Structure 1
Amino acid sequence: MRVLFAAPARQWDEWAPALRNACPEIELCRDGDPAGFDALVYAPGYPEDGTVLDFSPFTRARVVQSLWAGVERIVTNTTLTQPLCRMVDPGLTRGMVEYCLGWTMRAHLGMHVYRQDGVWRNDVMPPLASSRNVSILGMGELGRAVATALLALGFRVTGWSQSGREVPGVDMLAGDALPKALSRAEILICLLPDTPDTRNLLDAERLALLPKGATIINSGRGTLIDDTALLAALNRGDLGHAVLDVFRTEPLPADHPFWTNRHVTVTPHVAADTRAETAAPVAAENLRRAMQGAPLLHLVDRKRGY
């Protein structure tokens, strides 16, 4: 099985040994005749000359396996006719759970209040988790994992997705019930993908539905929130804080007002990363399935965009 590693060169030294170890039967290549490849392992940034990859010459390829969970930078490529699979990496999932859990606990306990300045602040006692409402927008693989971890700590969890598919222990809402999910969210966790339907989903009108003083944790996509509306709500005191890991432009420009706003915490897209050692077995399984004609894992729905 000949597989093209269609990813930036800097990733080769990390990924090539992991992929070969997980799938010893493959011949992993960095270049060659497109018509001679059975599959592609793809990551954004390829080709590195800034052009858009033309998938049409890969006439023999049975699958394009993305190394990223998000596929918004490839799914709109009109030359892509091969099956596209997104990456569902257990290491990435665990990283996202830990990130969301950590910042949720910081907001829940009000850890930012305890400045080490000699002032004895014991006038506010945080509630127990069982009295705190957390809403999660996006209940796919990541959202369900985050919800399960929060439930284990006793939080009251509301989930929202277009389908509203049931998740044990979570009060699931769907479609038009988004305002209800927002109105409950003392802490709001955003894990939605970037699609035409989700861009600017949290505009001024919807941000106004959040309880006063709510915290937003966005580790989904930077396009989900209207930046100007978010800053206005924070500066008015309608919202308490925003923890932002994803942005419309990355790296976030040094002069962006998020950096200097005391109600915003910027983290540099570190919530979760695809780890070669845990993701390579997932890619290997799909490569084998493609060659055997078996159903592929995590197949992307082109119409939905994920």
Structure 2
Amino acid sequence: MKREALVFYSPTDDPTAWRDALAAELPDLDFRLSAQPGDTSEIHYALVWKPPTGFFAPYPHLRLVTNLGAGVDEIVGRNDLPDVPICRLSDPGMVQLMTSYVLFAVLRYARDIPSFERSKARGKWEFIHPRPFAEIKVGLLGLGDLGAAAATALANLGFTVSGWSRTQKQLAHVNCVSGAGALDGFLAANEILVCMLPLTPETHGLLDKRRLALLPEGAKLINVSRGQVVDEAAMIEALRSRRIAEATLDVFVKEPLPEGHPLWALDNVLITPHLASNTTPAIAARDVAESIRRIRRGEEPLHRVDPKRGY
């Protein structure tokens, strides 16, 4: 008797943790690794992260593809992708991790921690009087599930927060603006900019040399979206000249960031290895299982992606 099966592929995620978490939610679902898929006609679901070219071709009976993360730029636009619903993950664990990272990065600048780190390296006691958070303008570029949560958390701490998105959003205590016409003014108004946009054809290179120059002198840049959203060469130039005073970067055009890359040598850049928000199988499996249940019932899955928009 044939069983419904899910095929799993990820170069970084633990398949055992995902197998166990999904078995607790859907004991009737067969979990298979892409290296040993068995009878491919039984595979109706795919749970993947950065699958190689041609990955989906052997699975003609797929009914749902779930991406192991919030960003789906590695999935949409592929020639081998079947015409089935595509979902992203957006579980509470991811939201908590991303919010904590953004809070850490913003607070690090708001409390002048990089200056104190450099003072320690020089062996100097230097006092900087703290500024009221309400005087510090923080802009969130992107107000999806993760961006909205981070913006709300920052506003609750007392920062003056604004957010830009493709379409108009409404968030309590956050000044929300939208559309291409509002972008330049948004960038010019915020001394700390947090980039949380998905990577799409429209956002690729969005923060180019001209737009980076719109940021206030001495601005701080935090990028937790995708490296390709920012013109890397223009950003490095601005950081070297201190036109952009500091940057916290979790994502890069090439990952892992190669040895000898110019960013490693900049003392005003904090680098983390793309870990701002990771999925936790024990939590995220609930959403994956619920989407599968909905597909079985002929309903819409959770967190469905519009391939044309790229998110």
* TM-score under structure 2 length normalisation: 0.92
In the TM superposition, 1:1-306 aligns within 5 A as 2-8=4-10, 11-30=14-33, 31-44=37-50, 46=51, 50-55=52-57, 57-80=58-81, 81-114=83-116, 115-116=119-120, 117-122=122-127, 124-175=128-179, 176-306=181-311
* TM-score under structure 1 length normalisation: 0.93
How far does residue 249 in structure 1 lie from its aligned partner after superposition? 0.6
Unaligned runs of 5+ in 2: none
Residues 69, 88 of structure 2: 8 Å contact kept: yes
How far does residue 120 in structure 1 lie from its aligned partner after superposition? 2.9
How far does residue 97 in structure 1 lie from its aligned partner after superposition? 0.5
Amino acid in structure 1 at the alignment position of 2:98: M
Q: Which stretch of structure 1 is more off in the superposition, 263-272 or 113-122?
A: 113-122
Residues 7, 45 of structure 2: 8 Å contact kept: no
Q: Which stretch of structure 1 is more off in the superposition, 6-15 or 70-79?
A: 6-15
- The total of aligned residue pairs comes to 300
Q: What is the RMSD of the two structures over their aligned residues, measured on CA atoms? A: 1.6
Identity %, equivalent residues? 38
For residues 183 and 74 of structure 2, what CA distance do their matches in structure 1 show? 26
For residues 54 and 63 of structure 1, what CA distance do their matches in structure 2 show? 11
Residues 2, 29 of structure 1: 8 Å contact kept: no
SS at 1:38 equivalent: strand
For residues 237 and 271 of structure 1, what CA distance do their matches in structure 2 show? 25
Q: Which stretch of structure 1 is more off in the superposition, 57-66 or 212-221?
A: 57-66
For residues 192 and 53 of structure 1, what CA distance do their matches in structure 2 show? 26
Amino acid in structure 1 at the alignment position of 2:65: V
